[in-house]
Amino acid sequence: MLHYARPLARLIGELEKLPGIGPKSAQRVAYHILRMSASDARALASAIAEVKDAIRFCSQCFNFSEAETCQTCLDPRRTASTICVVAEPRDLIAIEKTGEYHGLYHVLHGVIAPQDGIMPDQLRIRELLERLSRSETSEVIVATNPTVEGEATALYLARLLKPTGIKVTRLAHGLPLGADLDYADQATIISALQWRREL
């Protein structure tokens, strides 16, 4: 990094920490930022600062939220008796984009993956149980991805929720095996929701 002026080397070093950005891309983005207008560059820096200061987890569904409780959880038009469990906030966005799901969500922030050291207590599973114990939920739709870890997490939840008597369903296998909800097209997600099966 000795070839770069110190502030430029610092920016490249920070950019390299981002996912999917290697040294070459970091250099390209850094030069791009240098060529931006001062106001555009400041807008980018302040958007990064704001997202860290203003975004937190919704106290109910654990999606990212600006307020203590997110817009979706507060929306009286949503069917409060149905909770769709997703692994990541991006999966929630993928389902929301279809416009066909009107219940609530719960974001786990990962799936159970012992080989990667991710155990159930590191996910928002305890919070889901607490939430179910104080709400009138009749169905939990497990919408984890159809990967080995996603399936294992779905089965784990189904077993855990069995004593509650709440119906636990799983998205139908319209989704290609190993695929991400995030990459599935809307028609596929809609049919996976329609044809969900009981676990």
Residues forming the site for Zn ion (CB under 5 A): 58, 60-61, 70, 73
Whichever of 65 and 144 has its CB closer to Zn ion, that residue is 65
The pair of three-digit structure tokens given for residue 154, joined into one six-digit string: 């779905």
Least Å distance between CB 22 and Zn ion? 36
Pairing of strands 103-107, 79-86: parallel
Whichever of 80 and 113 has its CB closer to Zn ion, that residue is 80
Whichever of 35 and 77 has its CB closer to Zn ion, that residue is 77
Least Å distance between CB 78 and Zn ion? 10
CB 147 within 8 Å of CB 171: no
Least Å distance between CB 59 and Zn ion? 7
Least Å distance between CB 73 and Zn ion? 3
> What would the DSSP string read from start to end of 154-190?
HHHHHHHHGGGT-EEEE--TTSPTT--GGGS-HHHHH
Q: How far apart are CA 132 and CA 27, in angstroms?
A: 48
Whichever of 11 and 107 has its CB closer to Zn ion, that residue is 107
